[in-house]
Amino acid sequence: MAPALTPAQAAVIKATVPVLVQYGETITTKFYADMLEAHPELHNIFNNVHQKTGHQPRALAGALYAYAANIDNLGVLSPALELICQKHTSLYIRPEHYEVVGTHLLQTMKTVLGAAATGEILDAWEAAYWQLAHIMINKEAQLYETTNGWTDWKDFKIAKKVKESEDITSFYFEPVDANLKIPVFKPGQYISVNVFVDELYDGVWQARQYSLSDAPGKDYLRISVKKEPGLEIGDPKSKTHPGYISNILHEKKNEGDVVRLSHPFGDFFFEETEENKGEPVVLISAGVGLTALLSILNHLTEQHSSRPVTWVHGARTANHRAFKPHLDRLNASNSYLKTVLFTSSPSNEEAQGEHFDITGRVDLSKLSAEDLYTSNPKTQYYTCGPTEFMVDVEAKLNAIGVPSERIKMELFGTGGVPRV
């Protein structure tokens, strides 16, 4: 383990930023390949699709660049580190994994950079790596302590499988161990679902994060998963498709089957405080992005909260909109709830005012200030959907005077939301 990073070493790290711009992705691509060859058991942790597509090496290269560029001001990286640590705990990353990563990352830097990787540079990067690793290990230890001993994968049975729309199906999970207590998670958080895939590397576990789509406090955990079209399990091309695991859930996992789940985690959630108590909440989603926000909406309605809530959702057609009957029931029984449904390609059978409200993609300019509660400086905004959608929502809210600190965005995968 390296000694503490000195000011002189921090200056060396800062000076390597141009090197990372030029060689960062080369370093991280070779790093992952060499590490996984030396430690094939880590295939059980790393996302096969992100490895095959190069998404994970690109994300790590970006993270190394951000770390080096901000080595003297790590506070700006706090949101990104929070997101990463939450995901790490949902995958049960351990301190020993940081040892393996650190060893191989430094070896790869030395190999790729050759003579340019002087002893001074490598010593500085070893100290810098362990400075960051200790921050993350300590944060992850704190998160594990909140799980009431649930610090490894747990077996859950698929108690119910319900089709919610043409491409979204809900899975209701109940613990195999009758003594396992379902935690009261924060609405908006996710779980990792871990399934064994016999088609990869002669069999490997693969985990994916899915938002919990119901309010906390139930005797089950529910996720609602979109099945990506045009993908056939068994087709070699499917192994690098982003929807690979979701298709396995849809096609191969049935009621009564057992999968492994993580404890709920995630830095995207609704939490009532004295400051925001009773203030408006605006929930804006597209497609399957509604899942995390539905957990928040169900929580608010089940708490009989009187705070104003606006639900904005976009779907291609009525057949692609999940939970419409549920939303209709909530609308009928909650006078403080407004729903605004956009449909981008309505069929001839769909009637405006019955199946949806506005034709087209979600466009906040078509909503009134009253719908969005923009005059209230304490209104909270939550958005979930494709990255471009969330960035567009934030930009439009910013344009009408809503600061980014009151806008929360959810993103799965590797990396973060590019703030405007």
Task: For residue 129, indicate whether it is catalytic.
Answer: no
Q: How far is CA 390 from CA 191, 360, 376, 419, in A?
A: 21, 16, 21, 9
Locus of tokens 């200030």: 369
Are 392 and 374 contacting, i.e. CB atoms less than 8 angstroms apart?
no
Rg (CA), the chain: 23
Burial class (CB in 10 A: 0-12, 13-18, 19+), 351: exposed
Q: Residue 47 corresponds to which amino acid? A: N
Retrieve residue 210's tokens. Answer: 């899915």
Closest to 264 (Cα-Cα) out of 381, 370, 173: 173
Rounded CA gap, 16 and 120, in Å? 12
- Residues 6+ positions from 148 with CB-CB distance below 8 Å: 181, 183
Are 397 and 382 contacting, i.e. CB atoms less than 8 angstroms apart?
no
Neighbours of 404 (CB within 10 A): 14
Longest C-alpha distance within the chain, in Å?
A: 70
Q: How far is CA 197 from CA 32, 245, 357, in A?
A: 20, 9, 42
Please pick, among 32, 67, 92, 98, the residue that the annotation labels catalytic: 98
Please pick, among 25, 65, 126, 140, the residue that the annotation labels catalytic: 140
Between CA 67 and CA 73, with CA 69 as vertex, the angle to 5 degrees is 75
- Direct distance between the N- and C-terminal alpha carbons of the chain, in angstroms, rounded to an integer: 38
Task: For residue 82, indicate whether it is catalytic.
Answer: no
- Residues 6+ positions from 58 with CB-CB distance below 8 Å: 25, 28
Burial class (CB in 10 A: 0-12, 13-18, 19+), 391: middle
Burial class (CB in 10 A: 0-12, 13-18, 19+), 129: buried
Q: Helix, strand, coil shares of the chain as percentages rounded to 5?
A: 45, 20, 35
Residues involved in catalysis = 98, 140
